Structure 1
C-alpha cells in the first residue's frame, strides 16, 4: 500500500513538472509572437546600453588619428558613432558638445571636395578635422561619389587620403561614409544648411564586381527562395531588383522595373500593424510588392520591426511567420534588404504625392 502511494506521488509530481514545462514552452512561444507583432512605427526599446564608437582616420603605417569637431572659438569636441540599439548596420555619427549630440553631415558645396560639418541647433557649424599627434590639422571631406555612397577621407598636406573608420570598444570596424537617399543635390535643410549627404557608420563591404542587377528573394525555412515582384492595380507583374550601377555594394537602391523606367520602392507612412512596402509610379500610383510561392500564392512583404535606424523587412505567410528578404548577385554575393530611416519622425519625404516612412535598400550583412 505504501509503495502504491509513493508511486502515485511520484507520478503526480512528474505530471506537474511536465505541465509546468509545457506551460513555459507555450508561454515562451506566445512572448516571441507578441514581440514580433510590435507595430513597426514603434521603435523597439528593449534595454540596451548605448555603445560609443570612436571615429578615427587610419594612417598608412597603421596609426589611428583622432577625428574631432572644432567650434569657432577653437574648442575641440569628440566625434563618435552612436549605437543606440543592437543593430550596427547604419549608425549615426555625431559631434558631442557637452550633453548635446549634433549631426554630422556633408553640405552642398561647389568645392572640389565636399565639406563635412557638424550642425548645431542654433545654426552654427563645427569643422570636422583629423588631428595628428604631431599637431597637424587635416581636412575631412567627401572626396568621391559612387552612386549612393560618398567616400570620406582625411587629406594630408600632400593631398593623400586616409580612410575614416568607426571602431567599437571591442575592436569591431565600420566604414564612415556619406549616404544619399535621393538624386537631388540637397537632401534636406537642417538649421538653415543645405545637406548634400548624411554621414553614417556602416559595415565594411568587400569589393564586388559590377553586376548590374541583384535578384530580390524571400528565403523559406526549407531552403527555397521566393521571387519578389511588384503588381500594379491591374495585376500586371514587374521585376524587383537591387541596382548596382557602380562597384560599391554598401547601399544599393531597390527598384521595380517598368521597361526602361526604374520605380522607387519605399515603406509608406501607415497606422497598420506592419508597414506597407510599395513601388511608386511616376504619377503616384502605388504598386503592391509581394513574395510569390511555388504554388502561385502572394505573400505580403512589409516592415515588421524597427531597430534604431533600420526596419526589418519580411515576407509574411498565412500563419504570420516571417521569411527574410535578401539581395543576391549573379555571382552569389548576398546583401540584406532593410528599411532605412534618416529622420526620427515617421515622415522621411514625399515622392510623387506619397508619404514615405523609410527607404528600402540592400545593405551588407552585419554580424
Structure 2
C-alpha cells in the first residue's frame, strides 16, 4: 500500500510539473504577443520631429546674413523653413513670434519689387529683412515673376541683390522663392492682405540664380511671359525603364494628351494640363475617402476626365496620389497587382522633373474647381 501511495504521489507530482511548464510556455507566448502589439502601436503614433532650416541671405563673398522680422519695438524674430516630414522638396517658411508661427507671403504690389511679409493672426504684417553684423537691414523682396515662380532677393541700399536660401542643419540647401497657383496677380486674401505668392523652400534650380533681374523699382506692367512654350512629356516609368504614355479619357473613351507646360525660363514648378482641342484642362488630385486619391482632369464646365497610363498591351493603369509627406503628395501609376510606377516629366532635350501633388495649405481640401474638391495641385517640380 505504501508503494502504491508513493506511486500515486509521483504521478500527481509529474502532472503538476507538466501543467506548470505548460502555463509558463503560454505565458511566454502571450508576453511576446503583447510586446509585438505594443511595438506596432508605438510605431504607428511616432511623429516626425520638425527640422528647422535657417533662412539666410547669401552675400557675394559667401558669408550669410540672418533674416528676421521686427516688431514695432525693434525686437527681432527668427524666420525658418520647417521640414515636418521625410521630404524636403517643398517646405513651408514661417516666422516665429511669441509662440506663434506666422505664414510668410509675397504681397500684391503695383511696383516691380513686392514686399515679403509675415502675417499674424490679427492681420499685422511684418517685413522680412536681412541683417548685417553692423545692424544694417536689407529688405527681402519678390523681384520678378517667371511663370509659377517669383524670384526673391535681399536688396541693399545700393540696389545689389543677394540670393535667399534655406540651409539645413546637415548642410543641404534649398531656394527660397514665391510660388503661384493662380495665373492672376492675386492668389488670395489673407487676414486683410492681398497675396501675390506663397513663400516656400524648394530644391535648388541652378538656372534661376542666373536670371536677369530688373534694377529699378518702377510700376510693373501686367505679367506677360516673353517665352516660347516648351511641352514636356508625362510618362509612367516601369521598373525595367519603359516609359508609358499618360492620357486623360472622356466619358466616351476618347483620349486627351497630358503634358507639362514650361511657360517661362524656369522649369522648377510647371503646370500639368490635359489638351482637348484648343482648351487646356487643369489636372488635380481630387479629395476622396478612399485610401488613394484619384488624379483627374477637370473641364471648364466641371466635367471630370480619368487620367491613366497605357501599357504596351493597351491596358490602363490608374494614376493616383499614394501618400502624403508634408506639402508633397507622391503620385504613382498603380497596376492591378498593386505595383507602383513612378510618374515623371521629360523635356525635349532630356531634362527630368518629378510629378507630384503639392499642397499650399494644411487643410485637407485646397480649393474647389467647378464644385469639385481638390486635395492637391499636380505639378512637375525639381527633383
Is TM more than 0.5 here? Answer: yes
Deviation at 1:184, TM superposition (A): 2.7
Structure 2: give runs of 5+ residues left out of the alignment: 1-35, 209-226
Structure 2 contact 366–376 (Cα < 8 Å) conserved: yes
1:51-101 CA distance string (max 9 Å, x none): 100000011111111110112222110000000011000000000113221
Residues 1:173 and 2:191 aligned together = no
Residues 1:119 and 2:137 aligned together = no
Change (3 A) 1:148 1:45: farther
Structure 2 contact 112–144 (Cα < 8 Å) conserved: no
Higher relative contact order, chain-length normalized (CA < 8 Å, sep 6+) = 1
1:253-281 CA distance string (max 9 Å, x none): 01111222211100112112111111111
- Give the equivalent residue in structure 2 for 1:239: 257
Structure 2 contact 175–201 (Cα < 8 Å) conserved: yes
**Aligned equivalents of 1:221 and 1:274: distance in 2?**
21
Structure 2 contact 247–257 (Cα < 8 Å) conserved: yes
Structure 1 contact 52–80 (Cα < 8 Å) conserved: yes
- Give the equivalent residue in structure 2 for 1:5: none
Q: 1:300 aligns with which of 318, 322, 342?
A: 318
Q: 2:284 aligns with which of 250, 266, 276?
A: 266
Deviation at 1:295, TM superposition (A): 0.4
Q: CA RMSD in A?
A: 1.9
Residues 1:85 and 2:81 aligned together = no
1:222-281 CA distance string (max 9 Å, x none): 211111111111111111111011111110101111222211100112112111111111
TM-score normalised by L of structure 2: 0.82
3-state secondary structure, aligned to 1:233: coil
- Give the equivalent residue in structure 1 for 2:237: 219
Structure 1 contact 211–329 (Cα < 8 Å) conserved: no
The count of aligned residue pairs is 325
Higher radius of gyration, 1 or 2: 2
3-state secondary structure, aligned to 1:207: helix
Deviation at 1:45, TM superposition (A): 7.0
Note the 1:100-115 alignment, pairs <5 A: 100-115=100-115
- Give the equivalent residue in structure 1 for 2:30: none
Structure 1 contact 211–330 (Cα < 8 Å) conserved: no
- Give the equivalent residue in structure 1 for 2:74: 74
Structure 1 contact 71–127 (Cα < 8 Å) conserved: no
TM-score normalised by L of structure 1: 0.85
- Give the equivalent residue in structure 2 for 1:162: 162
Residues 1:280 and 2:272 aligned together = no
1:188-241 CA distance string (max 9 Å, x none): 222222211100000002339977011101111121111111111111111111
Deviation at 1:161, TM superposition (A): 0.9
Structure 1 contact 231–288 (Cα < 8 Å) conserved: yes
**Aligned equivalents of 1:227 and 1:258: distance in 2?**
16
- Give the equivalent residue in structure 2 for 1:54: 54
